Every structure is written in structure tokens, then in C-alpha cells.
């Protein structure tokens, strides 16, 4: 393939809306996506104070169905979806045999024998192939509807009030990490109380071509409440403040769930075997090689992805994500460091443009919304 024969990027059903709104579009996970509209800072603050509207149609939607769906899925991922009540969801991961993370997922149980697995955009095809292979020999069936589904999120303190005006779903009864089927603006939809911002919010799954209707309805209903469209830039600063990992930054195949501080997701005790169990049990027994921590930058400078982290002048790890925090008013970062250097209060340094900038290890998340 020559340079002029690059693989074309996918566009969501909302691409025209984003262009009309003047969004700056970038490549992300094989998709052309809005990184910002008016500005990342404005969009970030809107979500923290009011609400923001996000196009998440680049995510993967994989349905696992059949009488053996629960058992087959439990053998494929590290959590145990069989423990979910219908209408509930769980955070999960699909790992390789060596325990490395292939992707982090959200698994919804929509019926006793029907599950929805939501994968990250850049990994959706890989997860689909991996699940298909792991389901072979069972009576479970995989239906990949990633390119047939639009996903729109509304996130922030005003989200419930705006969405309630458009749906018959009882949002007051819908708990965090739960989902219900109904309609939004007259369109058949799955409404989930989930998100990636640290705020209360909802994600609305609809057929691909109905995405623009949902976007327009939410935008119109939220106009008086100050709801604005938000891009990937604000989504990234919001999730960083909330201490939420991003695949290819905090999570990858060279990292296991215990190192990422997510060992609670791994259900070693569940009945039956699952891919990666032996390797993850070994990590649980013997300990981790690195530890994900939060860093509050005390010196001048922004700690960016890939910057070395130092302890007494010697390298102890690497920054995975870093930015100025609009909410906290200071630079923050997440990083992997040697396990012994990861206790809160430990003073480290980050190499920023050949200078060591002070950083203190702090607990995650950096920000928690008022309850």
C-alpha cells in the first residue's frame, strides 16, 4: 500500500452535524471524530457545571446471545457476567493468556440469555474477533453491531433533567451501571446510566440512522440548561480528573489489571476457567511489577504521556496521561512507577524538557463529583 492509498476513516452518522457546528475533526481509533467545538476548557466546564453532549458512535457494540451466553462470556472475560441481574452492567476486561489487557469493556445483561459488550473504538474489531474465537464450541452467538449502532451520551449535573423530558424510562429508578430499554424522542433506544467523565450521565444506544434525531432532540431540550456539544479533548481531561484509564495509555497488552489498580475486576474464584486465569492468579500471589498512581505536579510544567518519572534522580516509571486540570487548577498526571514508589505522599519528579519537575503521589481519583 502506498502513502496515497491510506485506509479511509469511518465517519459516524453525526459527521454532518459536527461539521455544521464547526468541530475540529481528527483521526481516533480509525474514525474521524470531533476533538473540540468551541474549546476544550469551555466544554470541560460545561460538563462539570451543566451538561455536555458527546458522539460515542465509534465505540464497539457486540451482542452475545444464546442459552450458554453467560457461561461463554464468563470464560472469555475476567469478570463474571453471570452474576449480573437483568438490566445491570459491570466493568470488565478481556485479557490474553499472559494476563495482558486486550481491552477494557462494559458488559450489560439485557436478558437472561442476552448480553451487550461495549469495546473501545480502536479495539472493537480485535475484541470482536477474539470473542468470536472464544465462543466457538459453545451455543452462544456473537452479533457485532458496531457499524449499525449510534451512541450519544449526555453527561453532567443537568443530564437527568434534560433526558427525562424526552423519555418514558424512569431515570430516577435507573441506578449507576444499569440500563433500560424504552424510547428517547420517540426512537427505540437502550438508555444506560454510565459514562466516562466522573459526572452523572447517560448513554443512549439507537439504530445507526436514528443517531442524528437523538442528537438534535437532546441538543434542543438542553439548550435552556446550557448543554453544549463536547469533543474528545474534553472527554480526555474529564476522565483524567476522574482517574479513569484510557486504553493505549494506562492499559495495554504489557499491563495486567492488578498493575492498573483494577484487580477487583478479576474474579479468580468464579466457577470455570477463563483466558488468562493462570497468569493473573500468579500476579495475585507474587505481586506486581509496576503500579498505577496519580501525580499532583508541584513544579512548573505539564507531565505528558511518555515522560520519564524519577525517584532521587533515577527513573522509576513513565507518565501515561497528563494535563492541566481545569477543575483543580493545577497540572495532574497518571503514571506507572515501581511498586515501592507508589505510596501517597511520596515525592517524585517528572522529566519535562530535560528538567526534573516536582510531583507528589496522590490517591485516585483526583476529582469526585458532589453527592
Measured CA to CA, the distance from residue 67 to residue 85 in angstroms comes to 16
Tell me the pTM. Answer: 0.96
Give exposure, 72-90, as e/b (b: 16+ Cβ within 10 Å): bbbbbbbbbbbebeebbbb
290-362 has which CATH code? 2.40.30.110
CB 164 within 8 A of CB 222: no
- pLDDT over 90, % of the chain: 97
243: helix, strand or coil: coil
60-139 is classed in which CATH architecture? 2-Layer Sandwich (3.30)
Measured CA to CA, the distance from residue 196 to residue 244 in angstroms comes to 7
**pLDDT for residue 84:** 98
Cell of 181: 430499554
Confidence of residue 371 (pLDDT cuts 50, 70, 90): confident
Q: Is 256 exposed, middle or buried (0-12, 13-18, 19+ CB in 10 A)?
A: buried
CB 286 within 8 A of CB 317: no
CB 169 within 8 A of CB 190: no
Mean pLDDT for 100-118 is: 98
- Helix (H) or strand (E) run with residue 157 in it: none
> pLDDT of 39-95, one tens digit each?
999 999 999 999 999 999 999 999 999 999 999 999 999 999 999 999 999 999 999
One DSSP character per residue, 44-77 reads HHHHHHS-EEEE-TTSEEEEEESTTHHHHHHHHS
> pLDDT of 220-266, one tens digit each?
999 999 999 999 999 999 999 999 999 999 999 999 999 999 999 99
Q: Which residues pair with 308 in a beta bridge?
A: 318
Average pLDDT over all residues of the chain? 97
**pLDDT for residue 95:** 98
Confidence of residue 6 (pLDDT cuts 50, 70, 90): low
Confidence of residue 5 (pLDDT cuts 50, 70, 90): low
CA-based angle 272:276:177, to the nearest 5? 75
- pLDDT over 70, % of the chain: 98
**pLDDT for residue 81:** 98
Which residues, in sequence order, are CB contacts of 215 under 8 Å at separation 6+?
14, 17, 53, 55, 152
One DSSP character per residue, 96-151 reads -TTS-EEEEEEEEEEETTEEEEEE-GGGHHHHHHHHHHHHTTSS-EEEE-GGGEEE
CB 174 within 8 A of CB 180: yes
- Taking the CA atoms of 138, 145, 59 and 230 in sequence, report the sign of the dihedral they define: negative
For the chain, the structural domain boundaries read 3-57+148-241, 60-139, 290-362
| Of residues 219, 194, 230, the one with CA closest to residue 46 | 230
3-57+148-241 is classed in which CATH architecture? 2-Layer Sandwich (3.30)
Amino acid at each position: 500500500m502506498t502513502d496515497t492509498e491510506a485506509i479511509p476513516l469511518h465517519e459516524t452518522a453525526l459527521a454532518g452535524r459536527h461539521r455544521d457546528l464547526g468541530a475540529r475533526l481528527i483521526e481516533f481509533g480509525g474514525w474521524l471524530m470531533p476533538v473540540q467545538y468551541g474549546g476544550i476548557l469551555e466544554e470541560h466546564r460545561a460538563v462539570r457545571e451543566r451538561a455536555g453532549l458527546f458522539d460515542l458512535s465509534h465505540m464497539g457494540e457486540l451482542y452475545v446471545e444464546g442459552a450458554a451466553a453467560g457461561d461463554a462470556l464468563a470464560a472469555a472475560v475476567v469478570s463474571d457476567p453471570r452474576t449480573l441481574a437483568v438490566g445491570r452492567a459491570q466493568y470488565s476486561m478481556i485479557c490474553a493468556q499472559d494476563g495482558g489487557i486486550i481491552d477494557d469493556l462494559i458488559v450489560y445483561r439485557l436478558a437472561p440469555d442476552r448480553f451487550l459488550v461495549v469495546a473501545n473504538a480502536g479495539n472493537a474489531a480485535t475484541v470482536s474477533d477474539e470473542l468470536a474465537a472464544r465462543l466457538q464450541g459453545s451455543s452462544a452467538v456473537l452479533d457485532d453491531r458496531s457499524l449499525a449502532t449510534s451512541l450519544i451520551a449526555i453527561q453532567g449535573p443537568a443530564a437527568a433533567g434534560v433526558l427525562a423530558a424526552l423519555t418514558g424510562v424512569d431515570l430516577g429508578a435507573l441506578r449507576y451501571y444499569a440500563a433500560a430499554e424504552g424510547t428517547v424522542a420517540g426512537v427505540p433506544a437502550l438508555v444506560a446510566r454510565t459514562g466516562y467523565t466522573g459526572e452523572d450521565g447517560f448513554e443512549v444506544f439507537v439504530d445507526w440512522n436514528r443517531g442524528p434525531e437523538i442528537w438534535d432532540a437532546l441538543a434542543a431540550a438542553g439548550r435552556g440548561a446550557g448543554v453544549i456539544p463536547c469533543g474528545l479533548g474534553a472527554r480526555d481531561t474529564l476522565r483524567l480528573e476522574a482517574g479513569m484509564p484510557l486504553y493505549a495509555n494506562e492499559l495495554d497488552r504489557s499491563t495486567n489489571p492488578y498493575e492498573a489498580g483494577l484487580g477487583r475486576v478479576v474474579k479468580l474464584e468464579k466457577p470455570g476457567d477463563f483466558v488468562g486465569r493462570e497468569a493473573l492468579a500468579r500476579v495475585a500471589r507474587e505481586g506486581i511489577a509496576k503500579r498505577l498512581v496519580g501525580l499532583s505536579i508541584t513544579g512548573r510544567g505539564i507531565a505528558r504521556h511518555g515522560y520519564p518519572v524519577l525517584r532521587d534522580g533515577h527513573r522509576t516509571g513513565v507518565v501515561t496521561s497528563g494535563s492541566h486540570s481545569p477543575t483543580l487548577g493545577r497540572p495532574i498526571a497518571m503514571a506507572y512507577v515501581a511498586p515501592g514508589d507508589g505510596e501517597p505522599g511520596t515525592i517524585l519528579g517528572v522529566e519535562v524538557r530535560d528538567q526534573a519537575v516536582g510531583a507528589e503521589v496522590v490517591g485516585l481519583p483526583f476529582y469526585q463529583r458532589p453527592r
